[in-house]
Structure 1
Amino acid sequence: MSIPPNNPREFASQVFDYLIIGGGTAGLVVASRLSEKPHLKIAVIEAGLAVFDEPLINEPELFGEAIGTKYDWQFETEPQPGLAGQRVPWPRGKVLGGSSALNFLVWNRGHKEDYDAWVAMGNQGWGWDDLLPYFKKSETFHEPSLSEQEKNYSYFEASSHGIEGPVKTSHIQRFAPSLKYWHQTLENLGVEVNRQSYSGANAGAWNLISAFDPAAYTRSFSANRYYLPVSQRPNLFLLTEATVEQITLEKHGEEWIAKGALVRYGEEKFIVKASKEVILSAGSIQSPQLLELSGIGNPEILTAAGIPVKVANPNVGENLQDHLLTTFVYEMRTPSNSPDVNLLPPQKVEETSDGPKVEEPSRAFLPGPAAYCPLFRMLTNEELEDITTRICPEILKSTKARETRLRDAFLSGKMLGAIEYIWYGETIWNKAFKGEPGKKYATIVQMLQYPFSRGSVHIPPMRDSRPITVDEKPIIDPQYCVGDGKIDLDVMKVGQMFADKICATEPLSHVIAGRVFPAKADNDDDDADVIDDYLRNNIGTEFHPIGTCAMGGFEGAKAGVVDDKLRVYGVRGLRVVDASIMPLHISAHTQATVYAIAEKAASMVLEDERSE
């Protein structure tokens, strides 16, 4: 598992063909694919460590426990007025592999209409049919046996999965005993079992696939699957623990051209040069941050930060969208034959001189039993009509593709999963709840998939006369549940009520006594107030920020930051490749989509390379 050692002087002395800023989920995909061409010289710069033997990352059932350690940037939002003034923690991977090293391993795809909506906005080549080959190219799917399919509801459509890609994927192999009740209960509520959930229609109840190697039983992430196997290529160079301070731009006539990056390594600063392109893959928070630090963005924000304006684009850092998440704990009626599992708070993590160390590793259940529920399955026709009237009038009247797409989830008969549920049977998945000895509990996690809330990520203004640098964290303001996003809170209230309904429906009701966190009130009116208060004080992130360097579609630089080739408007030789280019959110975890975006981006770069 050795990799070439850091050599900053080598980086400073060479000119690379392609410089990739960010060795995360997307950046390492691009590096791996471009370096397949031996005549190209590829460089990757990553701020975090390169680690391949860290249990917090490698062991699937320790998912989430690297959050808050040195492998995490540990961002947080501005206080959110729509959430009782909360500052919401936003973990992001600060390690080779990025957030694919920290996430909860979930590997799924959105609905076909999610991606086709991008095309409807004018982003040609980004529909479901366009992306499916890249979804498949990134994975090697390990099929469950026929008995596992039937026993665990681990269904799949073989033609929709890849068999030769770097990322190993598999259905999970260990379930809570109450799994056997989940799917039948959802069917009894009109939410059908979906046997082809990865084929472009993901609504229904099914079991999630995870990014892990079932043979080695280790996490499969971009560092160990895309980078490590090719790390010895003589044309691939990696510099870790290095900070990019800005992208270097040169003006030729009226045109700005990306030429490299200003890099800090320890006490040294130097320019890393790129002769063909700089590819920015720093993620939805730091890609717009670096564009602004480089003079690309809203002139008012840049001027306030002391940054000279080179390319004016007020869309940089805007259009921030995120999936909202809450958890609810239920007491189990009868003891099960499973051990007690308390997923949160995590097992004790100690910071040692050698890094984070876990004592007594837990055996938590990986995310498995899930459901993507359309609103019309959760509400009566009258209730659906009522909640639709609460959508902002301007959005209700708009004919734009974005607003039309958001409204679609409120249509009766529209099979779009507005709320995702994950069932953690025999598990406490809420750090604020302490169970009673001798009792067992289950948790439902609900996640809003089509948020109306839109916010921003920007560098802060100067506090004195010194221009802002990369060391000052950006201002993250997702604007949760305010303005147009007020409807998001209403939808999550619907989600909570339906979660209670799931647990009160046979056969799951046989083993669920009732909701204990938040404690259920004696009557429905009082309970509605309990739910409202709980949501405002406990909504968090599903860790899926997107959109801050979005594709502009038909409106180009008037609405976005990059074109449909992911080239930054107004700059030659600069692309953005990560979740920030997504113009509109999807009803899925973002990991698999980011891999597909990166695979497609690498193909586009090589296509341009061939046409030169």
Structure 2
Amino acid sequence: MATPITASDFCKRRFDYLIVGGGTAGLVVAARLSEDANITVGVLEAGPASFDDPLINVPGRFGESLDTKYDWRFETVPQAGLNGRKLPWPRGKVLGGTSALNFMTWNRGNREDYDAWGGPFFMKTESFQEPSPTHQAQYRSHFTAEFHGKGGPITSVYSKEHSVPHRYWHATLNNIGVETNYSHFSGSNLAHYLPNSARENLVVLTEAVVNQIVLERDTMGNEWIAKGVIFTSGGEEYTVRTLHEVILSAGSVQSPQLLELSGVGNPSVIQAAGIALKVDSPNVGENLQEHMMTAMVYEIDSSIIGPDDLRADPKLAEAADFTYSSSQSGIRAMLPCSLSYVPDPISKRDLVLAKQFSPGSKRDQIECLFDVGNWSPYFKSVPGKKYGTMLTMLQLPLTKGSIHIPPKSLLGPSGIKDKPVIDPQYFAGGGGDVDFTIMVAAQRFADPIFCTSPLSSIIGTRAFPLATELHDAEEDFAGFVRDYTITDWHPIGTCGMGGSAGIAAGVVDERLRVYGVKGLRVVDASIMPLHIRSHPQATVYTIAEKAASMILEDRRE
């Protein structure tokens, strides 16, 4: 591993490319560019390097890194569509980014999700480990080899073991008419750093918070050019410059924040923040789209051991830790695997198709994920009882919100320490009405799963929300959806690609170059113009692979 570098020494280096954000996308780009020994890459990451923390690395401890030092701990403004509630918005503040906070889920959206904005390099980033015939038979771990990569830096693997509910999941969904997809990677629905950390041309500075991008006029005074960044480390402010490009990979919350702090954005937002406008780019921070979800909690068979048991029993947790460390097996090796993507299950489907989808297209709109444990932030477990949780997640929201820097205060202009104003506009406007209708109907679809064989053999009473009449298809879930919907932690779109309409419709072009600024690109989930029917981690990796390829192509021209 490379020797840590000081902030002052970092600034003395001559960088061809500066990458703001050492997260999922940033480290991919850094690794690919630095494969060329003639290219020197600098990466600035606000959080620490934490390579060995079990909170991040042990699969069965998913979720424990939330609301820790690895989390920026953002939150939304009050949401009228959620009866005035604010929601936490976790974002990663660590080398590896939000990938260090997530559930290690690796899946892809439908082919149609990507057709409008180009095909990502999925296979290039992946090294798929095929499950054994025994694993395939026991856990129905199906795959089609031709749709998987073999030589990429990210190892993807089916969980070595699956929880008890997963053993019944496929058969139960089949019994209610949801077919098993035997080729779900086909387009139907820190790994990049450590192996390369010894490269002399790849320099990473952690715990360095970027304040703004340095933009200067060209010699003719006609064009803004990104020349470097200003950052803070150890309480001191520094400026580091680049010979070619600044690559902004700070994520869907902080990439638009840094553009606005640098004077690129909507004039009304920039000026209200007390910052000099440099580029009138009205879509910076707009087009925010986010998966949203609800959590219904059920009592389950008391013999089933889950993460709640480990949190309550230190000796049980110690035994599970030993099993994982010695053989990478047991409950610490298990991830939530009981999930399915289904079409929106509402009676007014034709109306929704007319508003949201092309007639005749088969758009999976709801993700249902069930596993052991109480995952609801609103339901308090009763001692002595065991629980399982069904997460029901809206995949293609019509609702669009925004993320912007706040107005200036009495202390002066807005800065990086002022948290951005996150307003997803959940269930707002006409599109929000459709989203709400689908989410209410989704609860009616998901709830009867638990009285369907064979899953019903381990499921008892629904604990949250309390059933007025258990498994009643006409039960009204409207209040539940309004009062308990939360974020699914998948924001995209705030620096979206503009397509043929250019800056009037987006923030970056098809090569991810920021409109109105030379030498500045955005490479992260914020560039996605439309959401996908999938957890976005694998897609972000492939966006970065494609971006690195384009950067190298442009360099050769």
Q: Deviations 1:133-152 (Å, cap 9, x if unpaired)?
A: x2111111111111211210
Q: Which amino acid aligns with 2:289?
A: Q
- Correspondence for 2:267: 299
CA distance in 2, matches of 1:572, 1:261: 14
Question: Structure 2 matches for 1:54-453, cutoff 5 A?
Answer: 54-118=53-117, 126=118, 130-131=119-120, 134-202=121-189, 223=190, 225-252=191-218, 253-332=221-300, 335=301, 337-342=303-308, 363=331, 365-375=334-344, 378-379=345-346, 382-385=347-350, 388=352, 396=355, 406-408=356-358, 411=359, 414-424=361-371, 426-453=372-399
Q: Contact (CA 8 Å) 1:20, 1:27: kept in 2 or not? A: yes
| 8 Å contact from structure 2 (residues 128, 156) kept in 1 | yes
Q: Give the secondary-structure state (helix, strand or coil) at the position aligned to 1:589.
A: coil
Verify: 1:547 aligned to 2:515, yes or no.
no
Going from structure 1 to structure 2, the CA distance change for 1:258 and 1:437 (only over 3 Å counts) comes to: closer
Q: 1:341 to 1:44 in 2, by over 3 A?
A: closer
**Alignment CA distance shift 1:521-1:267 (3 Å):** same
Letter in 2 for 1:572: K
Within 1, Cα distance between the matches of 2:511 and 2:441? 39
Q: Distance in 2 between matches of 1:359 and 1:146?
A: 31
* Change beyond 3 A, Cα 1:452–1:343: farther
Distance 1:71 1:438 in 2: 32
Q: Which amino acid in 2 is paired with 1:78?
A: V
Map Cα deviations across residues 557-592 of structure 1 (whole Å, 9 max, x no partner): 000000000000001000000000000000000000
CA-CA distance at 1:533 after TM superposition = 1.7
Letter in 2 for 1:180: R
Hey, what does 2:456 align to over in structure 1? 509
The whole-number CA distance in structure 1 between the counterparts of 2:318 and 2:405 is 38
1:152-209 CA-partner distances (Å, limit 9, x unpaired): 011011111111111111111222223232111211222100110010111xxxxxxx
- Shift of the 526–373 alpha-carbon distance from structure 1 to 2, 3 Å rule, reads closer
**Which residue number in structure 1 is paired with residue 440 of structure 2?**
493
C-alpha contact (below 8 Å) 1:177/1:336 kept by paired residues: no
For residues 395 and 82 of structure 2, the distance between their equivalents in structure 1, rounded to whole angstroms, comes to: 18
TM-aligned CA deviation for residue 58 of structure 1: 1.1
- Contact kept, 8 Å, 1:328 with 1:445, in 2: the verdict is yes
Q: Could you say if the C-alpha distance between residues 195 and 336 of structure 1 is closer, same or farther in structure 2, counting changes exceeding 3 Å?
A: farther
Distance 2:238 2:35 in 1: 27
Taking the aligned partners of 1:142 and 1:5, their CA distance within structure 2 comes to 33
The verdict on how the C-alpha distance between 1:3 and 1:505 changes in structure 2, with shifts beyond 3 A counting, is same
Distance 1:19 1:347 in 2: 45
3-state SS of paired residue (1:178): helix
Distance in 2 separating the partners of 1:72 and 1:495: 30
C-alpha deviation, 1:61, in angstroms = 0.8
The answer for the alignment partner of 1:608 in structure 2 is: 554
| Per-residue deviation, residues 243-298 of structure 1 (Å, max 9, x unmatched) | 11110011122100000001111232221100110100000000000000000000
The answer as to whether partners of 1:521 and 1:527 remain within 8 angstroms in 2 is no
Gap change, CA 1:348 and 1:319, over 3 Å in 2: farther
Deviation, structure 1 residue 6: 2.6
Matched residue type, 2:529: P
- Conservation of the 8 A alpha-carbon contact between 2:497 and 2:510: yes
Shift of 1:55: 1.1
CA separation in 2, counterparts of 1:192 and 1:336?
30
1:428-486 Cα offsets, whole Å, 9 max, x none, are 32243344455443221111000011000000001226111111010000000010212
- Verify the 8 A CA contact 1:551 1:561 in the aligned structure 2: yes
TM value normalised by structure 1: 0.85
* 8 Å contact from structure 1 (residues 319, 454) kept in 2: yes
Residue type of the alignment partner of 2:391:
V
For residues 327-373 of structure 1, give each alpha carbon's deviation from its aligned partner in whole angstroms, at most 9, with x where no partner exists: 111223xx3653254289x6799xxxxxxxx9897846412021100
Evaluate the alpha carbon distance shift between residue 45 and residue 347 of structure 1 in structure 2; reply closer, same or farther with a 3 A threshold.
farther
1:560 aligns with 2:506: yes
SS at match of 1:106: coil
* Offset of residue 388 of structure 1: 2.5
1:63-90 deviation digits (Å, cap 9, x = unpaired): 1101101110000000100001111101
Q: 1:360 to 1:524 in 2, by over 3 A?
A: closer
Of stretches 158-167 and 87-96 in structure 1, the one that deviates more from structure 2 is: 158-167
Please tell me the residue identity of whatever aligns with 2:183.
Answer: Q
Structure 1 residues 511 and 569, CA gap change in structure 2 (3 angstroms) = same
Q: Which residue of 2 aligns with 1:9?
A: 8
CA distance in 1, matches of 2:196, 2:43: 13
- Which AA in structure 2 matches 1:243? V
Distance 2:174 2:215 in 1: 57
The alignment yields a C-alpha RMSD, in angstroms, of 2.2
Q: SS at the partner of 1:606?
A: helix
Specify whether residues 72 and 359 from structure 1 end up closer, same or farther in structure 2 by C-alpha distance, changes over 3 A only. Answer: farther
Does the 8 Å contact 2:261/2:275 carry over to 1?
A: yes
Answer yes or no: is the 8 Å Cα contact 1:6–1:240 preserved in 2: no
| Structure 1 unaligned blocks of 5 or more | 119-125, 203-222, 350-357, 397-405
CA distance in 1, matches of 2:209, 2:472: 53
- Which residue type is aligned with residue 196 of structure 1? S
Tell me the alpha carbon deviations over residues 14-70 of structure 1, each in whole angstroms, 9 at most, x when there is no partner: 331100011110000000000010111110001000111111111111111011011
Paired residues of 1:374 and 1:414 also in contact (CA < 8 A): no
Asked if structure 2 preserves the Cα contact closer than 8 Å seen for 1:297 and 1:312, the reply is yes
**C-alpha distance in 1 between matches for 2:70 and 2:52:** 13
Structure 2 CA distance for aligned equivalents of residues 340 and 71 of structure 1 = 24
Distance (whole Å) between structure 2 residues aligned to residue 569 and residue 316 of structure 1: 10
Matched-pair identity in %: 51
The answer to whether the 8 A contact 2:448-2:471 is kept is no
Instruction: Report the counterpart of residue 468 of structure 1 in structure 2.
Output: 414
